[in-house]
Chain A
């Protein structure tokens, strides 16, 4: 098999196995299906040109997500948010917070995710959809692991607050006695 054919086969396999995951990530990143489609396509076209940089097939998804994030960043100006440390966060007991499956359908959760501030949504997507660890997210976002944990904690807290009919900005939970 020639090197060209081998590269093409590898690329085809990546597209067929990961384009769906990349689309989901892009969709939740930008909130627009057509734009997500274009982002995913541009990501794979860049990946094709840089395929030699991919050393481990197992790392392909995170590698592609990194490319996708850069593509997305080219579209939007970004500001570096300020983060509190995770140790400063009040912790709630979720037992009294209704579970989302009891509150509504997926559409309700999706609407809440859309309302989530991007600084909370993005690390959550990287963790849940991308399979990144906290340290990997920290490297990708160029912030500390503690800041990532804070964002992830608050992302979930705010989602639960919205799904309970609360204000996304609310942070009123207290750790149970």
Chain B
């Protein structure tokens, strides 16, 4: 190996343990000096690349995997393969038009697609809820109690945090659309569901339930959680 070949190797693979490379470095003082300079650059490069992820990254991945597993089991238990196939056909058939639908309509459709999570009753830890929001880049100032399901779901083309909060007279579905705000507050009824949509933070909070009895308290809790 000559000096030119050494410098090319040094510039493209400075960590190489190629015997000819190491031999040349041992024999050539100028190339050994260049190698030392390159080592300094590599150390600085490695240090600069060390960006740190959110401390909740691993937990949020494990939570997402567990949620996916639970959903899959629920689907299978309910003969959901047919439902999945129907959902896929629907998604392929109308996928291009999803964005044209109001968020309220998309939310009701999403609730139907994931109806099995309405039966969740066991409260999750506050950390699980925080992790889901952290995954969407949001920090909660407090966590409302009574969340029995949380998932980072796509809804049409939007990123959401989807939750279920069971109440004595039926669950309240809470969907926070992270990437789309709304200009106005709206109460609506659609397909037998009562709904409320309101701007909150940079996104939109949507509540869905069979009646509106708990909407005010749930809205208040999430306003406080997402404040600031």
A interface residues with partner B (beta carbon < 8 Å)? 11-12, 15-16, 19-20, 23-24, 27-28, 33-34, 36-38, 40-41, 44-45, 48, 86-87, 89, 91-95, 97, 99-101, 106, 109-110, 113, 125, 127-129, 133-134, 148-150, 152-153, 156-157, 159-160, 175-176
Contact = CB atoms under 8 A, between A and B. Distances in A.
3 tightest A-B CB contacts, nearest first:
A109-B48, A23-B53, A152-B12
Contact of B8 (A34, A95, A153): A153
Nearest to B40: A99
Contacts of A34: 136-137
Nearest to A176: B30
Contacts of A86: 8, 12
Nearest to B136: A34
Interface in B6-60: 7-8, 11-13, 30, 33-34, 37-38, 40-54, 57-58, 60
B62 interface: yes
A20 B45 contact: no
A153 to B, nearest CB: 4
Contacts of A148: 12
B152 to A, nearest CB: 8
Contacts of A44: 61, 65
A95 B32 CA distance: 11
How many interface residues does chain B have, given as a range?
A: 35 or more
Contact of B57 (A40, A45, A150): A40
Could you tell me the dominant secondary structure of chain B's interface residues? Answer: helix
Contact of A157 (B11, B48, B65): B11
Contact of A101 (B3, B44, B54): B44
B92 interface: no
Contacts of A110: 48-49, 51
Contact of A37 (B47, B50, B57): B57
A79 B89 CA distance: 31
B64 interface: yes
A5 B71 CA distance: 18
Contacts of B43: 101
A175 B41 contact: no
Contacts of A128: 42, 45-46, 49
Nearest to A89: B8
B182 interface: no
B57 A91 contact: no
B68 interface: yes
B41 A15 contact: no
Given A15-B58, A41-B61, A134-B12, 11 more contacts: A11-B65, A27-B53, A89-B8, A95-B37, A100-B44, A101-B40, A101-B43, A106-B44, A109-B44, A128-B45, A134-B13
B54 A37 contact: yes
28 contacts: A19-B58, A19-B61, A23-B53, A24-B50, A27-B51, A27-B53, A36-B53, A37-B53, A37-B135, A41-B61, A41-B135, A44-B61, A44-B65, A45-B68, A87-B8, A89-B8, A91-B4, A93-B30, A94-B37, A97-B37, A99-B41, A100-B41, A100-B44, A133-B13, A149-B8, A149-B13, A156-B12, A176-B30
